[in-house]
Amino acid sequence: MTFQVYDTTLRDGAQREGVSYSVVDKLAVARLLDEFGVGFIEGGWPGAVPKDTEFFRRARTELDLKHAVLVAFGATRRAGAVAADDPQVRGLLDAQTPAIALVAKADLRHVERALRTTAKENLAMIHDTVTHLVAEGRRVFVDGEHFYDGYRHDPAYTASVVETALAAGAERFVLCDTNGGMLPSWVTAAITDLTDRIGVAPEVLGMHAQNDTGCAVANTLAAVEAGVRHVQGTANGYGERPGNADIFAVAANLQLKLGLPVLPEGCLEQMVRVSHAIAEIANIAPDTHQAYAGAAAFAHKAGLHASAIKVDPLLYNHVEPEVVGNDMRILVTEMAGRASIELKSRELGLDLAGHPETLSRVTNRVKELEAGGWSFEAADASFELLVRSELPDAAPVRPFTLESYRVLVEHREDGAVVSEATVKIRVRGERVIATAEGNGPVNALDEALRVGLGRHYPELRNFELADYKVRILEGSHGTGAVTRVLVETADGRGGGWTTVGVHPNVVEASWHALVDALTYGLDRARV
């Protein structure tokens, strides 16, 4: 039986607090998921949610999916009604998708207390609705809500729900851990017990895991190891509470660890791009530490073993980062030696192997700065500027020189808080004085610098200060405390870079990071 990778980012994943996709967002996410090669995209609940009705309508003309089948999600008919006459069921057919997913109660307690109907009527609702939709030519999936809790509470009844759905013509019955309380060994045991009890092959079952125990990915894999051949998940694990199974980690594990070719050729390496693009659309900062897809998923603090990593990267990576579209990164940290600096430089496209003297100068400079509290592990752009300053051919162009600056913050008698900065700089031979206000001292300084540079460098307009972090470091070597500032700059086209500044004065530290940020961005724009 074909393995089915079934995505529900746009339906169950949209339950995540704070997420709200427009119809255009949903179309864009569907295209990305298709590029990742999922087999099914559950797009929403047509009829019940107006935005979802609209999504399915526009999808018919605007979505040209290469791999995925679009699925409409809804419920079984109301108690006491007839499926063919139920407007909610009608809404699912009106979406004109090849497949429909129906949620059905699989826990008797929920049937009685939430749905407020009888055990028998619940089975009739499932049978009637599935039969009707199949007769209308739809592929039907049934999601057994609260399957695992129900099966523990009353296995006979929950098993009869599964049997009813399959007998009525459902293509797969999906075992949902709706409350997310399962562990992998429990999943295995429940599936084995169920298939023994009702005499079905596990291939007709599916798995839908929530991450409340931190085991959603593992629970999904456990189901597959028990024979299940349909897995549900969401991009980056977005979903209610701790979220759903992350479809990226699930697919990567199935393909790379269990050897199941669940995605079409060439799709797995789209993962990092698709993952980050969906995060942008959902307006959620990508999780840098996400398994497989995170920016830090293959980042190593090289330290003592830099030379071993250089020779034998696979001794230190569980898979090759390239297969999921990721990169290995070497972090330049305290204890940084020549080998890790060379490795890091190579990653940035700067080959120092042939320049041993430059490598020594850079290494000494990094060590000196790190002793003073600088840290380049999260500031690739500052590190690149530093290395390039030592390379005559590649030295970055400094866009200006500073004469002086002044920043003022006032809490006035009327309670208003104002910040104002003045910079005096030389830009291409010209002396410029510029003043600006801001919502804080660093913002004011940033604004004043942009005013001063703006005429010569109009491309500055695209750069935006995206994040700003401050850390106070205890003094070493008997000196006082210093402040370390990290500035993340966005280029307005989805990219960005991070720079660092260190000084006892937070404003001066921020200034260093800001100047590096603008220098790096302008230099990159120039190339």
- Among positions 429-488, residues that touch a copy of itself (CB under 8 A) are 439-442, 467-474, 480, 483, 486
Listed ranges 89-97, 168-176, 398-406, 447-455: which one lies at the site for a copy of itself (CB under 8 A): 398-406
Listed ranges 28-36, 83-91, 109-117, 427-435: which one lies at the site for a copy of itself (CB under 8 A): 109-117
d(CA 52, CA 26): 9
Task: Kindly determine how many residues on this chain lie close enough to bind a copy of itself according to the rule CB under 8 A.
Answer: 106
Listed ranges 81-89, 157-165, 336-344, 502-510: which one lies at the site for a copy of itself (CB under 8 A): 502-510
| Minimal distance, residue 237 CB to a copy of itself, in Å | 8
d(CA 111, CA 164): 15
Binding-site member from 296, 369, 427, 490 for a copy of itself (CB under 8 A): 296
Q: Which DSSP state fits 409? A: E
Binding-site member from 60, 66, 120, 318 for a copy of itself (CB under 8 A): 318
- Asked whether 241 and 180 are in contact (CB, 8 A), the reply is yes
| Minimal distance, residue 500 CB to a copy of itself, in Å | 11
Run of H or E including 223: helix 216-225
Q: By C-beta, is 99 or 321 nearer to a copy of itself?
A: 321
Binding-site member from 118, 192, 288, 462 for a copy of itself (CB under 8 A): 288
Helix (H, G, I), strand (E, B) or coil at 422: strand
Bridge partners for 425 per DSSP:
402, 432
Nearest to 188 by CA among 140, 243, 228: 228
Q: By C-beta, is 181 or 454 nearer to a copy of itself?
A: 181
* Residue 192 touching a copy of itself (CB under 8 A): no
| Minimal distance, residue 349 CB to a copy of itself, in Å | 21
C-alpha count within 13 angstroms, C-beta hemisphere, residue 135: 9
Residue 288 identity (one-letter amino acid): T
| Minimal distance, residue 273 CB to a copy of itself, in Å | 18
Listed ranges 93-101, 154-162, 165-173, 285-293: which one lies at the site for a copy of itself (CB under 8 A): 285-293
Binding-site member from 67, 109, 273, 456 for a copy of itself (CB under 8 A): 109
Binding-site member from 167, 351, 505, 525 for a copy of itself (CB under 8 A): 505
Q: 135: how many CB neighbours lie within 10 A of its CB?
A: 11
Contacts 24+ apart (CB under 8 A), 426-432: 426/400, 426/401, 427/399, 427/400, 427/452, 427/453, 427/456, 428/456, 431/403, 432/400
**How far is residue 309 from each of residues 274, 305, 389, 500, measured CA to CA in Å?**
28, 6, 27, 26
Q: By C-beta, is 120 or 471 nearer to a copy of itself?
A: 471
Q: By C-beta, is 30 or 249 nearer to a copy of itself?
A: 249
d(CA 314, CA 295): 18
| Minimal distance, residue 235 CB to a copy of itself, in Å | 14
Binding mask 65-104 for a copy of itself (x = CB under 8 A): ----------------------------------------
At residue 491, φ and ψ (nearest 5 deg) are -95, 5
Bridge partners for 25 per DSSP:
none
Q: Considering only residues 154-183, where is the footprint of a copy of itself by CB under 8 A?
A: 179-181, 183
Listed ranges 3-11, 159-167, 265-273, 296-304: which one lies at the site for a copy of itself (CB under 8 A): 296-304
| Minimal distance, residue 277 CB to a copy of itself, in Å | 17
Q: Considering only residues 210-249, where is the footprint of a copy of itself by CB under 8 A?
A: 211-215, 217-219, 221-222, 225, 237, 240-243, 246, 249
Residue 89 identity (one-letter amino acid): V
d(CA 151, CA 156): 8
Q: By C-beta, is 98 or 439 nearer to a copy of itself?
A: 439
Binding-site member from 332, 436, 517, 518 for a copy of itself (CB under 8 A): 332
Q: Which DSSP state fits 210? A: B
* Residue 311 touching a copy of itself (CB under 8 A): yes
Binding-site member from 117, 270, 317, 358 for a copy of itself (CB under 8 A): 317
Listed ranges 36-44, 62-70, 191-199, 413-421: which one lies at the site for a copy of itself (CB under 8 A): 413-421
Q: Considering only residues 252-281, where is the footprint of a copy of itself by CB under 8 A?
A: 252-253, 257-258
Cα–chain center distance at 500: 25
d(CA 506, CA 89): 61
| Minimal distance, residue 189 CB to a copy of itself, in Å | 11
d(CA 132, CA 138): 9
The residue assigned the tokens 């895991």 is: 209
| Minimal distance, residue 138 CB to a copy of itself, in Å | 24
| Minimal distance, residue 312 CB to a copy of itself, in Å | 6
| Helix and strand numbers, DSSP H then E, in the chain | 17, 16
Run of H or E including 100: strand 99-105
Q: By C-beta, is 139 or 248 nearer to a copy of itself?
A: 248
* Residue 489 touching a copy of itself (CB under 8 A): no
At residue 515, φ and ψ (nearest 5 deg) are -65, -45
**Ramachandran class of 514: left when φ > 0, alpha when ψ lies in -120 to 50, beta otherwise:** alpha
d(CA 247, CA 80): 37
